[in-house]
Amino acid sequence: MNLRLLSIAFVVLVIISLSGCKLTQHEQSLFEEMGGHSTITKLTENFVDEISRNQEIFKYFARSDVVRFKQKFSEHICMLSGGPCKYTGDNMVDVHTGMNINEHDFNLGVELLINAMNRSDIPHTTQNKILATLVPHRQDIIYLE
Ligand code: HEM
């Protein structure tokens, strides 16, 4: 009997401690994992620098307002990574319509983003998660005449 009571008490204790864990555990967002606002600012600066050094991609940005792009791009990455930001830019289809970005240039853009993430010391596992948030937008960006 005592043994039975003891095992019930043990099971109850395990359940309480497990549910306690669940309550106190804080799930880290991708925004936190990448290092928050300061990493996003670094990433954005490096990305703009990568764009400015690549003629094939820079031609799309020749008439863009770089200050606006930096602000909207940062907000977009912040929002997609679960950070405390509201994206105030235009939607992806409206922004990229008329550019007729082909597969090659889209991939090149992603390559420049990867260079920028490397230069911002973002670990590869985190880079993959960031890229995964961008993948669903691919269809909103390419071949929009
Ligand atoms: C996953 C890929 C991409 C994402 C998430 C993305 C996101 C964005 C965002 C958030 C903006 C700012 C919008 C605003 O100003 O309201 C923007 C602007 C722009 N994007 Fe993209 N973009 C992507 C790929 C590309 C590629 C591959 C190109 C060109 C090859 C491109 C060309 C541009 C240009 C030229 C602008 C500035 C438009 C302007 O000045 O009005 N984007 N993009």
Angle at which helices 66-80 and 36-52 cross, to 10°: 130
What spacing in Å lies between the alpha carbon of 9 and ligand 1's midpoint? 59
Q: Looking at residue 61, what is its pLDDT? A: 97
Q: Is 89 in the pocket of ligand 1 (CB under 6 A)?
A: yes
* CB-based burial label for 70 (10 Å; 0-12, 13-18, 19+): middle
Angle at which helices 66-80 and 124-134 cross, to 10°: 100
Q: Looking at residue 104, what is its pLDDT? A: 96
Residue with tokens 């204790």: 13
What spacing in Å lies between the alpha carbon of 95 and ligand 1's midpoint? 6
pLDDT tens figures, 58-85: 999 999 999 999 999 999 999 999 999 9
Q: Looking at residue 121, what is its pLDDT? A: 98
Ranges of the chain whose pLDDT falls below 70 = 1-24
- Separation of alpha carbons 7 and 15, rounded Å: 12
Q: Looking at residue 26, what is its pLDDT? A: 80
Q: Is 64 in the pocket of ligand 1 (CB under 6 A)?
A: yes
Which residue has a Cα nearest atom 41 of ligand 1?
Answer: 64
**Ligand 1, residues 73, 115, 133: which to mutate, most atoms within 8 A of Cβ?**
73
- Separation of alpha carbons 46 and 133, rounded Å: 19
Q: Is 76 in the pocket of ligand 1 (CB under 6 A)?
A: yes
What spacing in Å lies between the alpha carbon of 93 and ligand 1's midpoint? 10
CB-CB neighbours of 39 under 10 Å: 19
Angle at which helices 36-52 and 103-119 cross, to 10°: 130
Q: Looking at residue 130, what is its pLDDT? A: 98
